[in-house]
C-alpha cells in the first residue's frame, strides 16, 4: 500500500507536467485549430535553451529559466505564430499539420547538431529529498512539481475566466466570427494563446528535464504523452487535458511497476486507442464542446 501511494504521487506529479504540455496543445487547437506536432520538441528544445543560458551567463537554473523564457516566447510563441501558422491558416488544417511536423524535425535535428546526440545532465529545480509521513514516502521534487503545475493551471483558468483578455480568448475559441463582430482582435487573441503555450512548454521543460535528461530525441515521447493526455481527457477543454495528464502519468507509473517496465509507454497508448474507440470526445469531455 505504501508503495502504491508512492507510485500514485509520483504518477500524479509527472502527469501534472504532461498536463502542462497538453493544456498548451489544446489551447492552440481551440483558438486556431492548429494541431502542433512539434509540441514535444518545443519542450525538448526549451530544456536545451535553459541549459545554454546557464552555461552562457553562468547562473543557476531558476534565473536561467527566467532569462530563457523571453527567448522561448519569441521562438515558439511569436515567430511560430507569425512565420508558420499565419501564412498557412488560410488553407485547410492539412498543410499546417505537415508544417508543424517539419518544424519538429527541424528542432530535433537542430538540437542534435548544436548540443550533440548524448543526454546532458539537467540540474534539479528542487533538491530530491524523500519525505516520510505516516509510512508513506514521497519525494520533495514530486510534491513541488505537482504544486507548481497545479498553481499554474489554476492561474491560467482564473485568467481565462475572470479577465477581459481571457474571456476574449474564450470567445475567439468558441466562435471566431462572432468574436470579430464583437470587436475582439481575433488575431491578437490567437497570438496570446501561442505565447501562453510557449510559456507552458518552458515551465514543463524546467520541471521534466531533470528526470528525462536533456536529449534531442525526448520530443517524440513527450509529444506523444501530451497528445494522449489531451485526447484521453477531452481535446476540447483545459480541464480535460489536466485530468488526462494525471491519468496518463498514474497509468504509466503503476503499469511500469506492477506489469512491465519495458512496456511502460504501451499502457497509455492502449488507453488512447480504447478512448478513441468508445468515447472519442474524451473521458471528461462532452461531444462538440469548444471551450478554452
Q: Per rule CB under 8 A, is residue 79 in the interface with other proteins?
A: no
At closest approach, how far in Å is the CB of 191 from other proteins?
A: 18
Q: Segment near other proteins (CB under 8 A), from 57-65, 123-131, 157-165, 261-269?
A: 261-269
CA 63 to chain CA centroid, Å, is 21
Strands 130-133 and 136-139: antiparallel
At closest approach, how far in Å is the CB of 274 from other proteins?
A: 9
Measure the CA–CA gap between 204 and 41, rounded to whole angstroms: 12
Measure the CA–CA gap between 24 and 195, rounded to whole angstroms: 9
Site string for other proteins, 84-113 (x = CB under 8 A): x--xx--x-xxx-xxx-xxxxxx-xxx-xx
Q: Per rule CB under 8 A, is residue 185 in the interface with other proteins?
A: no
Q: Per rule CB under 8 A, is residue 259 in the interface with other proteins?
A: no
Pull the grid cell for residue 3.
Answer: 508503495
Q: Segment near other proteins (CB under 8 A), from 145-153, 184-192, 203-211, 260-268?
A: 260-268
Q: How many CB atoms lie within 10 A of CB 8?
A: 16
Stated length of the chain: 292
Q: Which of 114, 102, 91, 98 is nearest to 45 (CA)?
A: 114
Q: Per rule CB under 8 A, is residue 238 in the interface with other proteins?
A: no
The residues, any chain, with a CB within 8 Å of residue 148's CB and separated by 6 or more, are 203, 207
Cβ proximity to other proteins: between 52 and 101 the closer is 101
Q: Which of 197, 204, 237 is nearest to 24 (CA)?
A: 197
Pull the grid cell for residue 60.
Answer: 543557476
With cell 541549459, the residue in question is 51
Q: Segment near other proteins (CB under 8 A), from 20-28, 48-56, 61-69, 272-280?
A: 272-280
Measure the CA–CA gap between 47 and 35, rounded to whole angstroms: 22
At closest approach, how far in Å is the CB of 77 from other proteins?
A: 17
Find the Cα–Cα–Cα–Cα dihedral 76, 12, 250, 139, rounded to 10°.
Answer: 110
Q: Segment near other proteins (CB under 8 A), from 15-23, 47-55, 80-88, 125-133?
A: 80-88
Q: Segment near other proteins (CB under 8 A), from 44-52, 128-136, 172-180, 262-270?
A: 262-270
Pull the grid cell for residue 112.
Answer: 542534435
At closest approach, how far in Å is the CB of 110 from other proteins?
A: 6
At closest approach, how far in Å is the CB of 106 from other proteins?
A: 4
At closest approach, how far in Å is the CB of 116 from other proteins?
A: 11
> Is residue 260 helix, strand or coil?
coil
Chain positions 212 to 231 lying near other proteins, rule: CB under 8 A, are: 220, 224, 227-228, 231
Measure the CA–CA gap between 253 and 243, rounded to whole angstroms: 16
Number of residues that bind other proteins (CB under 8 A): 40
Q: Per rule CB under 8 A, is residue 153 in the interface with other proteins?
A: no
- In the complex, the residues that contact other proteins under the rule CB under 8 A are 35, 37, 84, 87-88, 91, 93-95, 97-99, 101-106, 108-110, 112-113, 220, 224, 227-228, 231, 262-263, 265-266, 268-270, 272-273, 276-277, 280
Amino acid at each position: 500500500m505504501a508503495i502504491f501511494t508512492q507510485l500514485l504521487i509520483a504518477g500524479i506529479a509527472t502527469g501534472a507536467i504532461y498536463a502542462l504540455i497538453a493544456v498548451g496543445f489544446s489551447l492552440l487547437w481551440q483558438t486556431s485549430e492548429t494541431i502542433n506536432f512539434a509540441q514535444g520538441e518545443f519542450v525538448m528544445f526549451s530544456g536545451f535553451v535553459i541549459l545554454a543560458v546557464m552555461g552562457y551567463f553562468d547562473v543557476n537554473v531558476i534565473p536561467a529559466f527566467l532569462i530563457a523564457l523571453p527567448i522561448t516566447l519569441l521562438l515558439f510563441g511569436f515567430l511560430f505564430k507569425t512565420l508558420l501558422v499565419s501564412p498557412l491558416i488560410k488553407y485547410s488544417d492539412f498543410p499546417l499539420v505537415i508544417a508543424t511536423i517539419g518544424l519538429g524535425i527541424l528542432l530535433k535535428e537542430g538540437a542534435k547538431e548544436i548540443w550533440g546526440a548524448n543526454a546532458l545532465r539537467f540540474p534539479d529545480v528542487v533538491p530530491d529529498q524523500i519525505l516520510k509521513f505516516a509510512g508513506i514516502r514521497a519525494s520533495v521534487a514530486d510534491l513541488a512539481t505537482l504544486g507548481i503545475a497545479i498553481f499554474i493551471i489554476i492561474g491560467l483558468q482564473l485568467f481565462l475566466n475572470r479577465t477581459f483578455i481571457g474571456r476574449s480568448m474564450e470567445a475567439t475559441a468558441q466562435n471566431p466570427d462572432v468574436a470579430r463582430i464583437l470587436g475582439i482582435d481575433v488575431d491578437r487573441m490567437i497570438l496570446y494563446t501561442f505565447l501562453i503555450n510557449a510559456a507552458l512548454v518552458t515551465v514543463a521543460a524546467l520541471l521534466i528535464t531533470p528526470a528525462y535528461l536533456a536529449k534531442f530525441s525526448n520530443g517524440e515521447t513527450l509529444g506523444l504523452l501530451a497528445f494522449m493526455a489531451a485526447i484521453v481527457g477531452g481535446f476540447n477543454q483545459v480541464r480535460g487535458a489536466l485530468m488526462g495528464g494525471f491519468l496518463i502519468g498514474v497509468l504509466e507509473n503503476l503499469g511500469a511497476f506492477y506489469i512491465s517496465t519495458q512496456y511502460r509507454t504501451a499502457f497509455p497508448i492502449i488507453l488512447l486507442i480504447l478512448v478513441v474507440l468508445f468515447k472519442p470526445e474524451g473521458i471528461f469531455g462532452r461531444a462538440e464542446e469548444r471551450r478554452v
